[in-house]
Structure 1
């Protein structure tokens, strides 16, 4: 039997075909554009995600017995605001996770409503990427469109709706809306009221591996699927990646080195850090996690290598870096090219190089970019450790993991071994795994992960370099506070 995992990404949708033993049989990718109408804006048409799925599934199944497909699971970019009218028609393009137009709405929520109030009702405070500030922006700037909203949902939920006709979401994705009472796993009536919504306008809540319905017969016929294919609620992309790397349950950790970077740490029960510097979210396995998110990770490397240096040859750039200079670099980089989420919650933050001299080399700058991203991840890890959450190792996935040097730098700066699993496409793999649980092939998400996720290699930190990076991190850590006042004066 086969299971399909769908990952609705920011630049492309990835579709993965998996058998019940966890073998990845095929991966298909369909790209689409993002619209940047104004500086800081980021939008996509939800229809482009659906077209990608419609084009991708027949290609995914070509040469395979489509009748063996039993279940489907979707994951995707979190926080995006999808709005439908009473006829379930799209009202406006989706406002994405990396859209920063909501700075004033975030200030209103954090200062007027109050961080303590938000934390009490949701376990989190407001960030520009979250969904609730987008709703406030829409109510204030597009009142006619807001008045037409009959349903709001998240990106992967729109695809699930087109598959099943069911308006649903899961707890992990809903956690990033700032509308969910994360601790008690229910919509917060207080937050819905603040955003001008009623409970009938938000989707029904499910655990990630719960069945929300079946692919509708006419849709199944159009996609070349058998009738009766089950669709599970799915998960936010980071929660799905945690499943796809086996980071299920307390004692685990997963780092995603994508365009943005995340560190997801499952916890023993619900946990909210004292200063709300990390996100307190639900996990795809029915539990909870602390999650840190830095807005620019592999995106920093792409900016430096492709846009600044002007080459696409990443290996050659890394070959310039001398191993003897690891832990000894005199140049520092703040990776805040798109502002920063955790732990600073500062959309005005900007990237910066500090410490350049007349003898600074191109290799020093490249190394500083790689180290700066790792230092930012450590900032998030330090918050979790302050809450006495032990992180002794982590899985790691995402495009950034193709660099062995970068993996080593992250391991040395965090001071923990990093585990790379066999399947690179962890979010889509995790979504397919959730579908297999929904179909009863495995009794739980934890059991499924234990059986299907396999280790590829472990990157061990170099004890000789860890001590050097400790001092460098202490220096780097003081740079954002020193520049914060200047950032507030910049446009």
Structure 2
């Protein structure tokens, strides 16, 4: 058995797979996000660890024999989170997350200091990245900054708790702005520009490398054999790719999770920061990927359902599909947490445009689904501008449960999309595969095979044509409001 642990934003997920990559058991423990000020987003690292322990405890309670047979563990996690530890490895403050927008001014400072950073780091400087958060902390919380012994990423804090080792791997380090993506090593100039020294960063390995062994007391708690290894793992985007077999040049997928991504694997480092794409090291050696990153995805649907008092999202989607006759008269900008591709705008916010006295909740939900699809189409155009294409991306994540939504996305993007078997397993599944690779040293292609395709959803090109004027209006509304979003 191989255990994958994914430290997400909304939950920690633990998943067990067997030697045939069949999921044997899984458990989720929810997490909450703190927003103490506008544009801030934080979580307590101890909450991640408590949720990790609870999720594995659940596996032990429900599947003790399977858990006891665990041979290796892989880790996945939300990227970019600044997890700050003191000399005793205790968190100094809540971690600053990927969707935190406070450090916009610090991005400008970093760009002034290192004008070519985007070419080295694979992405334009954005507030959600780790580096500008450290510059912000140095200015606004100098007492905390002075006590920093180590900076870790979320999944790597769990590694520290599991093994006592301070290690990260290429795909998660890629999102810090401190990694030289092409050479796959830390960039001392970027580290120094953030006010840090190299000894404050963890050791770098590949995602399929062994990073340590589980602590003896934890092995006893979960009835595992001593010496269970922990692999490097990966950032959630890369482990999502591992899970769906996106390991060869041109393989790709669309993730519809809390945030959204369009991911395409690459055999070379191809930076295009001017297109606001992320060109990052993959979680397997000698591979990279390009990615259009959207800070909002299926979370928009959850938000809308909660706002409307709808507890059964499946029933809400069924009603919305039943009344869907044409593009919604309401246009929704899905920028609840700002946006990266294609705007790099941490201040952007969600907007319903065109509400009338006859607007129903189903019409609003349809506009939310369309708004996320418009945002994906907008981001896809940046990949195409960079010369990056994927013939048949699969859709993964919680949003993949809805065939109606996938059809809507295909219609708006004009792109065939695949529905995979087990598409909602996501990054934890890929993390488990990386655990296996670290233990067995098998060929990546043998382990990271693509899941079976349940269905290929072809775009209805008549609907695509119908949606184009609405898509153009969607873009004009954002352009008209961009300056209004900026705080004064």
**Alignment TM class, shorter chain as reference:** over 0.9
**C-alpha separation in 2, matches of 1:353 and 1:199:** 46
**C-alpha separation in 2, matches of 1:45 and 1:356:** 38
The size of the alignment, in residue pairs, is 484
Q: Which runs of 5+ in 2 are unaligned?
A: none
Query: Which residue in 1 is equivalent to 2:103?
Result: 102
User: 1:381: Cα distance to partner?
Assistant: 0.9
- 5 Å-filtered alignment, 1:42-53, equals 42-53=41-52
**TM-score, with structure 2 as normaliser:** 0.93
Does structure 1 residue 64 correspond to structure 2 residue 65? yes
**C-alpha separation in 2, matches of 1:419 and 1:244:** 15
Question: 1:159-182: per-residue Cα shift (whole Å, max 9, x none)?
Answer: 111222211101110111111111
Query: Which residue in 2 is equivalent to 1:79?
Result: 80
Root-mean-square deviation (CA), in Å? 2.1
For the Cα contact (< 8 Å) 2:67–2:222, is it kept in 1? Answer: no
User: 1:17: Cα distance to partner?
Assistant: 0.8
Distance 1:356 1:87, change over 3 A: closer
Segment drifting more, 170-179 vs 23-32:
23-32
Query: Which residue in 1 is equivalent to 2:127?
Result: 128
Distance 1:59 1:350, change over 3 A: closer
For the Cα contact (< 8 Å) 1:327–1:466, is it kept in 2? Answer: no
For the Cα contact (< 8 Å) 1:255–1:262, is it kept in 2? Answer: yes
Query: Which residue in 2 is equivalent to 1:20?
Result: 19
Query: Which residue in 2 is equivalent to 1:433?
Result: 433
User: 1:207: Cα distance to partner?
Assistant: 1.0
For the Cα contact (< 8 Å) 1:29–1:56, is it kept in 2? Answer: yes
Question: 1:60-116: per-residue Cα shift (whole Å, max 9, x none)?
Answer: 133315452110001011111111222322222211112222222123224x336x4
**C-alpha separation in 2, matches of 1:165 and 1:405:** 46
Query: Which residue in 2 is equivalent to 1:470?
Result: 468
- 5 Å-filtered alignment, 1:159-170, equals 159-170=158-169
Runs of 4+ in 1 over 6 A off after TM superposition: none
User: 1:148: Cα distance to partner?
Assistant: 1.5
Distance 1:354 1:53, change over 3 A: closer
User: 1:56: Cα distance to partner?
Assistant: 2.5
Does structure 1 residue 302 correspond to structure 2 residue 317? no
User: 1:429: Cα distance to partner?
Assistant: 0.5
User: 1:195: Cα distance to partner?
Assistant: 0.7
**C-alpha separation in 2, matches of 1:276 and 1:185:** 22
Query: Which residue in 2 is equivalent to 1:193?
Result: 192
**TM-score, with structure 1 as normaliser:** 0.93
Distance 1:322 1:264, change over 3 A: closer
**C-alpha separation in 2, matches of 1:304 and 1:88:** 39
**C-alpha separation in 1, matches of 2:419 and 2:202:** 35
Query: Which residue in 2 is equivalent to 1:442?
Result: 442
Q: Which runs of 5+ in 1 are unaligned?
A: none
